[in-house]
Amino acid sequence: MKGNCLIAQSGGPTAVINQSLIGIVERALQSQKIERIYGGINGIYGLLHNEYIHLDELSHDKLLQVRNTPGAALGTWRYKLTAHDLERIVDYIVSREIRYFFYIGGNGSMKAASLIDQEAKRRGYPLAVIGVPKSIDNDLLNTDHSPGFGSAAKFLATCILDIEMDVKSLAKSNRVTIVEAMGRNTGWLAAACALVQQVSSDIPLLIYIPESAFSIEQFLAKVIETHSQYGYCLVVVSEGIRDEQGRLVGDEHAKLDPLGRPRLGGVSSYLTQVIEERTKLTARYVLPSVWQRSSIALCSKVDAEEAYRVGKQAVEHAEEGLSGTMVTIERCGGTAYDVVYGSIPLEAVASREKVVPTTWYDAQNCTMTEAFIDYVLPLIQGEVTIPTINGLPAYRHLLPVNQY
Amino acid sequence: MKGNCLIAQSGGPTAVINQSLIGIVERALQSQKIERIYGGINGIYGLLHNEYIHLDELSHDKLLQVRNTPGAALGTWRYKLTAHDLERIVDYIVSREIRYFFYIGGNGSMKAASLIDQEAKRRGYPLAVIGVPKSIDNDLLNTDHSPGFGSAAKFLATCILDIEMDVKSLAKSNRVTIVEAMGRNTGWLAAACALVQQVSSDIPLLIYIPESAFSIEQFLAKVIETHSQYGYCLVVVSEGIRDEQGRLVGDEHAKLDPLGRPRLGGVSSYLTQVIEERTKLTARYVLPSVWQRSSIALCSKVDAEEAYRVGKQAVEHAEEGLSGTMVTIERCGGTAYDVVYGSIPLEAVASREKVVPTTWYDAQNCTMTEAFIDYVLPLIQGEVTIPTINGLPAYRHLLPVNQY
């Protein structure tokens, strides 16, 4: 089946989401089954509004620049599809003679991809839909880990190490420093900060994740105890930690985001305030926010390469006749880290979340177990050199100017 | 005059403060006039409590590791000296036969160095006191710039570029993103984010600095205008921006820090809230906080080398018989960037602040002029490779364990 292919990016970007994009493009350029390569502008939005670019016209140099650029080079969109949207998207796919659709995204996007796959099947239109995983949150089920996670983990663990050098050297200032990690329902990123224990076993870091109910009283006691022992204290907290009743911590004034989910980001500010009100310590917080998913200087080489490989693999799966599946990463046994790529039905990932196993969390000491470190350590290995111009990174996105 | 030397670090650390420390140590090791090299632990605290280490006993490898470590390797302290403290410090200096005192710090520390110099002179004790400049804020007078500034500037400008790639690719999300830069009274760091215009002239970045009175109404109008033109908007704001009446913006609940200065850090949270309340846009903020002075992955090579050189220069000044002076960096004329090192009396720097010239700020467009870019661009050039172990930086501090 020869035909055109369409690629779109979805959801929150990662440092390596463009590695997957270029992996798909480079492999599609080699494919005997693929003619034109379209890139949907701003994700689903481009498919609904007939906005796309010709990815097969990019030069080799431009492809290389895009690989080393954070953000979603094609643009992305957060939006919940209606039945009518689905029809329009498949209309668009049919009208462009698209036979291969590659959708780079997280668990919400895999749901959308699955619906598109079903709609095409319903019409009897031959379309291969392949999901390409990406998630800094690492919350995709049925894959060992998600591209994007390793780089965000490396970013945050490096942040903790840098800040530890700062606060340790100002130990007389009596201060607790809180770093807020992304993670609405899962604590993978906050947990990854336990990696700093690989560098030194003597870093007073407390980790709090949504998978374990948060108690403000236990938190304050632990902070005071740690501070009295070390003279300073570092805390990393997932944005989505919840109390015993399942309420978001510090979220008295919660607002909703466009998808109707509570908008987060206030927990570190709240905890800072509580520490200052209830103890004799001072506190401050660091909020890397979207930078933890868009920094590429601290990107993991393993993560970047795997993100590129899942893109290539997606094209191979389509060539092999798969559809309605997502590429997975499977860790091989053995002492040295190695992976193979597999596939699972989109429905096995769609709208579901993988949480941190509580057996990997040491709630007593607010840290992670050795088993978790063994899991995450290989994912942050290696550095990527980003080309610079005049001391700043040379990035290349693909969006037309004022495309909004 | 042969004798021992003492080095101490003071105030907020920088990414390159240890470059200066090692510059001093390496040059002092070569000096015919210097015998032992003492490092005061935790700044002035060590001098008041007889806590120090022998820096001349460090191996070459250890010196190299310390150079590439953020934070103050010897520890530092924020503290206002009393007359009695001054006597005790000079007692300590006399008792250890210290003839050379190198103090790495900012304008407050240069005041302390000056007082120590005067106290030694009053007693007729032959002591050379040399100040070594460091300030991420770049607020030291009578030097072209301060070591530490270039690296923090590069860190923040890279942060803006990374985040721009993220928000541009999510342009449909209608969001304003605010980054809060350090800068209590001066806007050098926020201003340095204008460097991103070197990469692309089409980045919708608004800059607000304490040197120009802030109006919330003009701010909201500018944000709305910029957003409507580009579809997204980035803001960088100094923590210390003030309104027409000189009040800190958003600082209704100001508290005081140990030196009696208002504790800052709330302006970006406040502006985020105001945007959401008063416009139809959503907003979020990024608070790099102390990471902007402790990140070394984005350190500027020019800055690192100059920080090392001012350390070496300090020893040469002492050998030449100077005292009561600070090393300065003077920019040479000519098209290529080059500097020479000079000296000025500590009193010309002590407790004074260099602000951003308002002629360099374009208040209408909330950006910086070409003249400012010409000033700051050379300071962020070049990258430094930091050794890693297992995917994380290999740091080395010098503080004894539990030294607090």
Rounded Cα distance between B42 and A170, Å, is 7
pLDDT of residue A404: 42
Q: Does B166 lie at the interface with A, CB-CB under 8 angstroms?
A: yes
Name which of A65-69, A172-176, B184-188, B278-282 the model is least confident about. Answer: A172-176
Provide, for chain A, the percentages of residues in helix, strand and coil under a 3-state DSSP scheme, each rounded to the nearest 5. 40, 20, 40
Of B41, B285, B248, B116, nearest in space to A286 by CA:
B285
Q: Do A286 and B286 count as a contact with CB atoms less than 8 A apart?
A: no
Residues of chain A neighbouring B78 (CB-CB closer than 8 A): 170, 172-173
pLDDT single digits (tens) B251-301: 764 455 555 555 444 899 999 989 998 999 999 999 999 999 999 999 999
Give the ipTM: 0.95
A215 DSSP assignment = -
pLDDT single digits (tens) B23-78: 999 999 999 999 999 999 999 899 999 999 999 999 999 999 999 999 999 999 88
pLDDT of residue B78: 82
Across A336-362, average pLDDT? 96
Most distant CA pair in chain B, distance: 71
Helices (H), B52-148: 60-67, 83-95, 107-123
| Residue B401 scores a pLDDT above 80 | no
User: B68, B104, B172: which to substitute to probe chain A, counting the most A Cβ within 10 Å?
Assistant: B172
Across A342-360, average pLDDT? 96
Q: What is the CA radius of gyration of chain B?
A: 22
- Please report, rounded to a whole number, the percentage of residues in chain A having pLDDT higher than 90: 86
pLDDT single digits (tens) B369-387: 999 999 999 999 999 999 9
| Residue B327 scores a pLDDT above 90 | yes
Across B105-115, average pLDDT? 96
Across B138-164, average pLDDT? 98
pLDDT of residue A80: 85
Across B296-318, average pLDDT? 98
Task: Provide the token pair at A151.
Answer: 């780089």
Helices (H), B176-330: 188-192, 216-230, 267-278, 291-294, 301-319
Average pLDDT, chain B: 93
| Residue A141 scores a pLDDT above 70 | yes
Helices (H) and strands (E) in chain A, counts: 12, 17
Q: Do A290 and B177 count as a contact with CB atoms less than 8 A apart?
A: yes
pLDDT of residue B207: 98
Rounded Cα distance between B170 and A13, Å, is 8
pTM of the model: 0.96
Helix (H) or strand (E) holding B228: helix B216-230
Of B345, B341, B316, nearest in space to B131 by CA:
B345
Residue-by-residue DSSP string for B280-309? S-EEEEEB-TTHHHH--TT-BHHHHHHHHH
Rounded Cα distance between A338 and A329, Å, is 10
Q: Do A170 and B404 count as a contact with CB atoms less than 8 A apart?
A: no
Rounded Cα distance between B133 and B311, Å, is 9
Region of A231 please: left (phi>0), alpha (psi -120 to 50) or beta. Answer: left
| Residue A260 scores a pLDDT above 60 | no
Q: Do B154 and A78 count as a contact with CB atoms less than 8 A apart?
A: no
Across B242-257, average pLDDT? 76
Across B324-347, average pLDDT? 96
| Residue B174 scores a pLDDT above 90 | no
From residue B380, give the alpha-carbon distance in Å to each of A28, A196, A389, B368: 39, 28, 11, 16
pLDDT of residue B323: 96
Residues of chain B neighbouring A382 (CB-CB closer than 8 A): 391
Most distant CA pair in chain A, distance: 71
pLDDT single digits (tens) A291-325: 999 999 999 999 999 999 999 999 999 999 999 99
Confidence of residue B113 (pLDDT cuts 50, 70, 90): very high
Q: Does B197 lie at the interface with A, CB-CB under 8 angstroms?
A: no
Q: Is B61 a catalytic residue?
A: no
pLDDT of residue A198: 86
pLDDT of residue A401: 62
Please identify among residues 72-101 of chain A the ones whose CB lies closer than 8 Å to any CB of chain B.
72-79
Residue of B nearest to A180 (CA): B287
Across B198-210, average pLDDT? 92
Q: Do B13 and A165 count as a contact with CB atoms less than 8 A apart?
A: yes
Please identify among residues 282-341 of chain B the ones whose CB lies closer than 8 Å to any CB of chain A.
284-291, 293-298, 300
Rounded Cα distance between B242 and B250, Å, is 9
Across B109-126, average pLDDT? 97
Of B148, B108, B185, nearest in space to B329 by CA:
B148
Contact (Cβ atoms closer than 8 angstroms) between residue A10 and residue A103: yes
Rounded Cα distance between A326 and A313, Å, is 10
pLDDT of residue A250: 84
Single-letter amino acid code for the residue at B311? G
| Residue B231 scores a pLDDT above 50 | yes
